[in-house]
Every structure is written in C-alpha cells, then in structure tokens.
C-alpha cells in the first residue's frame, strides 16, 4: 500500500519548482540571435534534445546527418522518452530542452498551454513547404489553431496482417478480409476463431482495441473530432462502428477473454502468434512486418489494406513529431536540426543504413514509413527490393498501398483527453457495462468538458 503519496508529492514538488524562479527563456550564450518567436540560419552554441533516441541504425543515421548539418552546434541528447511530468517540471524551472520528440497526440495540448512554438517561420527559413514535404494527415495532427507546431517524423500506417495457414484451415481468403463489408467480417472472424474449455486458442480477427478504435471510426465514415479539434464521439457513424466492434469481439468469446489471450502472446519473440498459429488476422502498424521478418521461415503472412465502408483504402497512422519548446534557448539550432533530420536526405541515409543492416543479417527490408511522401518514394525506389519471399514481398507492397489515402487521428488541444475518452468508451462498451451509444455519449461529455477547458475551447 506504500507509495501512494507519490502523486501528492510530485504535485507539490512541481509546485515547489515554481516557488523559486522561472527565468524567462534566455537564449544560449553564443547562440545566434533570434527573437522569442523567431528562427535564424546563423547557428552556434549547444542544442539540447529530449525524447529522441538514436538507438537503431535509422535514427542514428538521421541524427548524424542533422548534427553535421548544424555544425558548429554541439548536440547533447537526453535519450529517454518524452515524459510530461518531467517536462512540466523543466518548464516550471525554465530548463526545457531546445527540441523534443513527442507523440503527435500531445502536440495540440502542448500548443494550447503555450509550451511550444509555432514553426511556420522555421519551415519558411529552410524553404520547406509543409504541404508538400509531409503527409497532410500528419500535418493535421500537429496543427493547432491554424498554426503548425511540429515537424512530423514517422507515419506508420495500419493494415490487417493475415495468417495464411489459419485462414486456409478455416477456408478464408485474403479477399474476404474486406473491411468495406464489415458485417461479413463478423462471420469471417467467427470462422477462424477457436476455443478450448471456454478459452481462446486461435483468435480469428483482432481489431486491436481500443488502440486502433479511431481507425475503425474512420472506416465507418466517423471521426473522433471535427476539423477544429472539437470532440464528435457521439456521432451516429461512430456508434455504428462501436456496435460493430462489439459484434466482432462477442463473436470470439468477448473482449475480456481476447485481451487476456493477447496479453499472453509472445508478440516480439520467436514464438510469436503467427508462428504458433494463434491468430487468423490482426491489425498492425507497418512496423510489425519488420518484427515478423525475424521469423520469416516460420510464418506465412498476407497484408490486407483497410478499406472504408465506401470501398476506399485507408492508411490510418499515428507517429511522433519534433517540437520546439517555448523556453528553448537555441530555437534556431532546434529548427535546423529538426528540418534536417526529417529531410529526404536524412531518410535516404537512414534507408541506406537499414538496407546495409538487412543485407548483413540476411533479413528482409520491409521499408521505412516516414511522414514525408518524397522520402518514402526515394527510400522505396532505392532500397526496397524483392526479398525472394513472396509472402513478405506482398506484405511490403500492401503496406505501401496504404499510403494512397493517409488519414490520422487529427489534432486537438484536448487530443489526449479525446483519445482517452474514446478508449474508455470502447472498453466499457466491449465489457458490456454500457451500450455503444451510451458509452460514446458519456465519452463525448467527458471529452467536451476537457475541450471546454482548453484556451481554444474557451474561445469557441
């Protein structure tokens, strides 16, 4: 029972940090002169980054290229993941990093609280046109009150990855994993599902709930929020979507049992669920193809892009973005580094490093999925070649197909609250505590309350 005091402790500690002093952001001595909201190409001083971890060859090569490009700036990295609690304490004491890598769902909240800077001037200084350089869906994620606050990095679209062995056993074809015919998919899920003693041993169709619930709303033509970032969770199309999600889960023994079954899977290991035939089809971000390639001789995957009920392919994705905190002491270096690290050159360097690693290990190059269409095209053209494994070649090609119509969660000052409210609605509805309509109605009330407390919400 110990340790419960930690929350009170951190709140008062954060408060305490504000007792002392909160020096107005002072530019790094020697850093190029830049107005509080401005950026410059004259670079010097030190750049302190947070949340960016160059632990693999992709991140390392991008980081190296960007660091060379901002020379003579000295780059110092805090490689731990973005931690809002830590950031709040840093902001209160005026000691924020100059550049942060964060999940795009929190960009709207950070912008609403005035914690990060708009980046139009940064883009313009480096001749970058965001609408051309990045997927519009990724830009939408980092747009708040009509200003762009983040430089999008990755764009990992989701799709269904089928297990051909389980599918064949159940007499299901890849063409039948058609999300534009959701009612038929309930029967397909039931067909592939198998249980022993009331416990599942083969999961037919995993919708990745509640993680991917926003994508399924989009499949049904719904959305968690409108273009202004205002929650729209109780929209009738969303209710249809959640009702269908529940049907799929109930056809396979119910959400609770499925969740426990999934929790026991060796998702990243040699005995993953595709090796052990514990799954018929699952919803995954493109990155999972790379995980599966580690067991390429033991798995037989097939990639199926997700389609909306109107038959259009949907490439739903989240990802991270680089943001410049308002208290950054070296915003010019931060801006330059972020632009260089997400440039086509950086991604090509990353693609080359990945290709070399894959070749050395005899693995399969499943591609890099960035937030930049020209970078995606360049990397695919130069480095993603046929692997000789027909299943994986199909999987990689299907992944690239999803980029034809990229969509995302959207940006909002209450983005995290909307996401949490949706997840909660999905969980309570699947658990049978509330009907889908009631769950979404309550979620809408929660999200609206959070939205109304934001600066932009109060204004609206």
Comparing CB distances to other proteins, the nearer of 22 and 53 is: 22
Task: Work out whether 175 is an interface residue with other proteins (CB under 8 A).
Answer: no
Is residue 257 at the binding interface for other proteins, with CB under 8 A as the rule? Answer: yes
Of 5 and 146, nearer to other proteins (C-beta) is 5
CA torsion 248-406-417-434 (nearest 10°) is -20
Q: Are strands 99-103 and 74-78 parallel, antiparallel or unpaired?
A: unpaired
Rule CB under 8 A: say whether 85 interacts with other proteins: yes
Please give the Cα distance from 78 to 99 (Å, whole number). 10
Q: Which is nearer to other proteins, 401 or 427 (CB)?
A: 427
* Least distance CB 67 / other proteins (angstroms): 28
Q: What is the DSSP secondary structure assignment for residue 144, as one 8-state letter?
A: E
List the structure tokens of 84: 């809002």
What own/partner pairs with CB < 8 Å and gap ≥ 24 does 120-123 have? 120/147, 120/148, 121/37, 121/38, 121/39, 122/39, 122/151, 122/324, 122/331, 122/335, 122/338, 122/339, 123/148, 123/339
Q: Which stretch binds other proteins (CB under 8 A): 53-61, 86-94, 270-278, 345-353?
A: 86-94
Contact between 433 and other proteins (CB under 8 A)? yes
**Residue span binding other proteins (CB under 8 A) among the ranges 15-23, 143-151, 266-274, 305-313:** 15-23
Q: At closest approach, how far in Å is the CB of 304 from other proteins? A: 24
* Interface pick for other proteins out of 211, 296, 385, 391 (rule CB under 8 A): 211
Shortest Å distance, C-beta 301 to other proteins: 24
Binding mask 385-414 for other proteins (x = CB under 8 A): ------------------------------
| CB-based burial label for 188 (10 Å; 0-12, 13-18, 19+) | buried
Structure letter (DSSP) for residue 368:
-
Nearest to 163 by CA among 304, 266, 270, 287: 304
Among 55, 127, 146, 264, contact with other proteins (rule: CB under 8 A): 264
Neighbouring-strand partners of residue 281: 162, 205
**Is residue 260 a contact point for other proteins (CB under 8 A)?**
yes
Q: Do residues 322 and 103 touch, judged by C-beta distance below 8 A?
A: no
Name the one range near other proteins by CB under 8 A: 280-288, 365-373, 383-391, 441-449. Answer: 441-449
Positive/negative CA dihedral, 325, 330, 333, 335 = positive
Residues 330-369 that bind other proteins (CB under 8 A): none
Helix, strand or coil, per DSSP, at residue 302: strand
Residue 27's SS3 state is: coil
Structure tokens at 416: 């995290």
Rule CB under 8 A: say whether 36 interacts with other proteins: no
Interaction between residue 276 and other proteins (CB under 8 A) = no
Q: What is the DSSP letter of 104?
A: G
**329 contacts other proteins (rule: CB under 8 A):** no
- Tell me if 326 contacts other proteins by CB under 8 A: yes
Using the rule CB under 8 A, which residue among 1, 146, 183, 459 binds other proteins? 1
Q: Do you find a cis peptide bond into 210, omega within 30 degrees of 0?
A: yes
Q: Of 78 and 208, which has the nearer Cβ to other proteins?
A: 208
Q: What are the DSSP E strand ranges found in 270-352?
A: 279-285, 301-307, 313-318, 320-323
Contact residues for 420 (Cβ-Cβ < 8 A; gap 6+): none
Angstrom distances, CA of residue 312 to CA of 11, 309, 356: 47, 7, 36
Query: Tokens standing for 169?
Result: 């056993």
Minimum CB–partner distance for residue 137 and other proteins (Å): 20
CB nearer other proteins, residue 48 or residue 354: 48
Kindly tell me which residue out of 27, 64, 145, 420 binds other proteins, with binding defined by CB under 8 A: 420
Residue count, binding to other proteins (CB under 8 A): 61
* Among candidate residues 181, 196, 249, the one with its CA nearest the CA of residue 429: 249
Site for other proteins in 98-127 (CB under 8 A): 106, 109, 113-115
| Site track 41-80 with other proteins (rule: CB under 8 A), x = hit | ----------------------------------------
Nearer to other proteins among residue 235 and residue 278 (C-beta): 278
Q: Is 186 in the site for other proteins (CB under 8 A)?
A: no
Residue 3 touches other proteins, criterion: CB under 8 A = yes
- Min. distance of Cβ 12 from other proteins in angstroms? 4
Name the site residues for other proteins (rule: CB under 8 A). Answer: 1-8, 10-16, 18-19, 22, 84-85, 88, 91-92, 94, 106, 109, 113-115, 198-200, 209-211, 255-257, 259-261, 263-264, 326-327, 416-417, 419-420, 423-424, 426-428, 431, 433, 445-446, 449-450, 453
């Amino acid at each position: 029972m110990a340790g419960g005091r930690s929350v009170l402790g951190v709140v008062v500690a954060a408060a305490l940090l504000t007792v002392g002093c909160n020096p107005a952001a002072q530019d790094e001595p020697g850093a190029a002169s830049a107005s509080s909201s401005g950026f410059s190409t004259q670079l010097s001083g030190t750049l302190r980054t947070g949340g960016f971890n160059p632990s693999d060859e992709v991140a390392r090569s991008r980081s190296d290229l960007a660091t060379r490009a901002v020379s003579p700036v000295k780059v110092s990295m805090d490689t731990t993941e973005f931690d809002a609690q830590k950031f709040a304490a840093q902001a209160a004491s005026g000691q924020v990093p100059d550049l942060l890598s964060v999940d795009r769902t929190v960009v709207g909240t950070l912008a609403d609280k005035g914690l990060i800077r708009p980046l139009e001037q940064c883009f313009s200084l480096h001749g970058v046109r965001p609408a051309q350089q990045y997927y519009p869906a990724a830009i939408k994620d980092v747009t708040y009150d009509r200003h762009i606050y983040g430089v999008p990095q990755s764009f990992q679209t989701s799709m269904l990855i089928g297990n051909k062995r389980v599918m064949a056993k159940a007499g299901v074809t890849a063409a039948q994993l058609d999300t534009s015919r959701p009612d038929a998919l309930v029967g397909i899920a039931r067909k592939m599902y198998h249980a022993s003693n009331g416990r599942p041993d083969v999961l037919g169709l995993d919708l990745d709930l509640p993680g991917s619930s926003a994508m399924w709303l989009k499949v049904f033509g719904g959305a968690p929020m409108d273009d202004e970032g205002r929650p729209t969770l109780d929209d009738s199309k969303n209710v249809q979507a959640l009702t269908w999600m529940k049907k799929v889960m109930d056809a396979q023994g119910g959400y609770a049992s499925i969740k426990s079954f999934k929790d026991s899977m060796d998702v990243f290991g040699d005995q993953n669920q595709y090796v052990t035939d514990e799954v018929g089809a699952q919803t995954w971000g493109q990155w999972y193809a790379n995980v599966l390639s580690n067991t390429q001789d033991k798995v037989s995957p097939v990639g199926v892009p997700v389609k909306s009920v109107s038959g259009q392919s949907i490439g739903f994705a989240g990802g991270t973005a680089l943001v410049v905190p308002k208290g950054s002491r070296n915003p010019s270096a931060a801006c330059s580094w972020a632009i260089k690290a997400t440039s086509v050159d950086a991604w090509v360097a990353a693609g080359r490093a990945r290709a070399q690693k894959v070749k050395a290990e005899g693995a399969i190059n499943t591609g890099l999925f960035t937030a930049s269409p020209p970078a995606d095209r360049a990397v695919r053209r130069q480095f993603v070649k046929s692997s000789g494994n027909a299943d994986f070649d199909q999987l990689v090609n299907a992944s690239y197909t999803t980029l034809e119509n990229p969509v995302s969660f959207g940006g909002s000052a209450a983005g995290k609250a909307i996401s949490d409210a949706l997840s909660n609605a999905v969980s309570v509805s699947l658990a049978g505590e509330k009907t889908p309509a009631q769950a979404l109605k309550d979620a809408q009330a929660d999200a609206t309350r959070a939205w109304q407390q934001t600066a932009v919400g109060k204004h609206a």
